[in-house]
């Protein structure tokens, strides 16, 4: 009887130790979560200073102290079409102190060859911040007042129209190729090192058409009558000032829709409590009136998506882009460029 009583006491002691230990760990984790963030957060922009991704990060930085209690430190790490900086994010400690700014082009890189990380699985989508509509633009002097005019001309003169875009294999290039395919026309793609270069080539008369998402710069030229914005690759018409009357490709009978987006990511494996605190702070920063005004001035549409919705968008866009690069032959084109 005594032995049974002693055994019971040992079991009770072990159980209490486990319970107390568990409570201690829970309390410790709770304290850590409550303290987060306790130091500045680095946000890596994988492009040079001055671009839309950089300006977006710096606009978020202005209200980070208010909504997170710590400053964001913007670090530009350009190179490799955005992969150099994103590799730093993917390889960082998933403690919530290293974030990255990225767009839909991130999903494309693994489709074109080996990358250090498979970004869709190595990164944690936190929040989508803005949408950047892709538009088709020509010089005002051209005889095309709408997409139908453009398509009719291209069918009459196959291969004569050259369209510019911001980079071989990028999301904007894909939209241009899909447009041509869906419209049944032959137009020749001309890659440039960014939207500013393709726009300069259009204004200089070196190409006849561009597909771009740099709507802020476009609006200035549209106001002076230098260019025409023919159509937009969106599901619905835009609410951006000056673009409300631009028809979508879909309503013009061309089934092309792809919204270019920019969001914030973190290394995979971030603790749930810290992630919740961080995403709540980011939501406050994105909804801040000052930030919204900055984005509107840049011609960008604030489109907040939380972690779950943003993750769903990643999955859907990954599938969509995989099909688009296959259907347009862009995968083979990229491969031939590497030989």
Tens of pLDDT, residues 205-255: 999 999 988 666 787 888 889 999 999 998 888 877 778 889 999 998 999
Contact 263, 277 (CB under 8 A): no
On whether both 298 and 157 belong to a single domain, the answer is: no
Task: Report helix, strand or coil for 332.
Answer: helix
Contact 199, 174 (CB under 8 A): no
Burial (Cβ within 10 Å: 0-12, 13-18, ≥19) of residue 337: exposed
The pLDDT of residue 339 is: 63
Picking from 258, 283, 309, the residue at the C-terminal end of a domain is: 258
Residue 31: inside a domain: no
Residues facing 191 on adjacent strands? 165
Residues 277 and 302 in one domain: yes
What is the reported pLDDT for 216?
A: 67
Q: Are residues 75 and 64 in the same domain?
A: yes
Question: Is residue 264 domain-shared with residue 251, that is, in the same domain?
Answer: no
Residues 148, 293 within the same domain: no
pTM: 0.78
Last-in-domain residue among 241, 258, 275: 258
Instruction: Please tell me whether residues 164 and 267 are part of one structural domain.
Output: no
Q: Which residues of the chain have pLDDT under 70?
A: 1-34, 214-216, 338-339
Please give the DSSP secondary-structure letter assigned to residue 92.
S
Neighbouring CB atoms inside 10 A of 264's CB total 24
Residues 218 and 168 occupy one common structural domain:
yes
| Residue 9 falls inside a structural domain | no
In this structure, are 201 and 282 located in the same domain? no
Q: Do 126 and 270 fall within a single domain?
A: yes
Do 147 and 248 reside in the same domain of the chain?
Answer: yes
Q: Are 221 and 266 part of one and the same domain?
A: no
Rounded Cα distance between 263 and 120, Å, is: 13
Burial of 304 (0-12, 13-18, 19+ CB in 10 A): middle
Residue 25 located in a structural domain: no
Domain limits at 146? Answer: 135-258
What's the CATH number where 175 sits? 3.40.190.10
Q: Which of 215, 242, 258 is the last residue of a domain?
A: 258
């Amino acid at each position: 009887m005594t032995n049974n009583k002693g055994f019971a006491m040992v079991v009770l002691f072990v159980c209490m130790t486990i319970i107390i230990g568990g409570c201690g760990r829970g309390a410790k984790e709770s304290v850590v979560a409550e303290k987060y963030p306790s130091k500045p957060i680095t946000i890596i922009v994988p492009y040079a200073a001055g671009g839309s991704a950089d300006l977006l990060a710096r606009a978020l930085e202005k209200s980070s102290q208010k909504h997170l209690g710590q400053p964001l430190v913007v670090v530009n790490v350009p190179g490799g079409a955005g992969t150099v900086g994103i590799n730093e994010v993917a390889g960082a400690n998933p403690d919530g102190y290293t974030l990255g700014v990225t767009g839909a082009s991130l999903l494309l890189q693994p489709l074109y060859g080996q990358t250090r990380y498979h970004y869709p699985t190595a990164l944690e989508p936190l929040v989508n911040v803005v949408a950047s509509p892709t538009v088709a633009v020509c010089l005002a002097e051209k005889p095309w007042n709408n997409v139908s005019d453009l398509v009719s001309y291209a069918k009459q003169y196959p291969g004569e129209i050259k369209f510019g875009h911001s980079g071989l294999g990028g999301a904007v290039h894909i939209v241009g190729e899909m447009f041509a395919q869906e419209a049944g026309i032959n137009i020749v793609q001309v890659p440039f090192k960014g939207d500013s270069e393709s726009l300069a080539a259009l204004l200089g008369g070196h190409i006849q058409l561009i597909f771009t998402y740099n709507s802020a710069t476009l609006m200035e030229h549209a106001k002076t009558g230098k260019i025409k914005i023919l159509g937009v690759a969106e599901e619905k018409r835009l609410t951006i000032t000056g673009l409300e009357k631009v028809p979508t490709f879909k309503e013009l009978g061309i089934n092309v829709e792809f919204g270019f987006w920019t969001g914030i990511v973190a290394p995979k494996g971030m603790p749930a409590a810290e992630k919740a605190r961080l995403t709540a702070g980011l939501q406050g920063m994105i909804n801040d009136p000052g930030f919204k005004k900055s984005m509107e001035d840049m011609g960008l549409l604030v489109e907040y998506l939380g972690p779950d919705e943003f993750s769903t968008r990643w999955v859907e866009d990954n599938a969509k882009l995989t099909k688009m690069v296959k259907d347009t032959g862009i995968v083979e084109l990229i491969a031939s460029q590497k030989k």
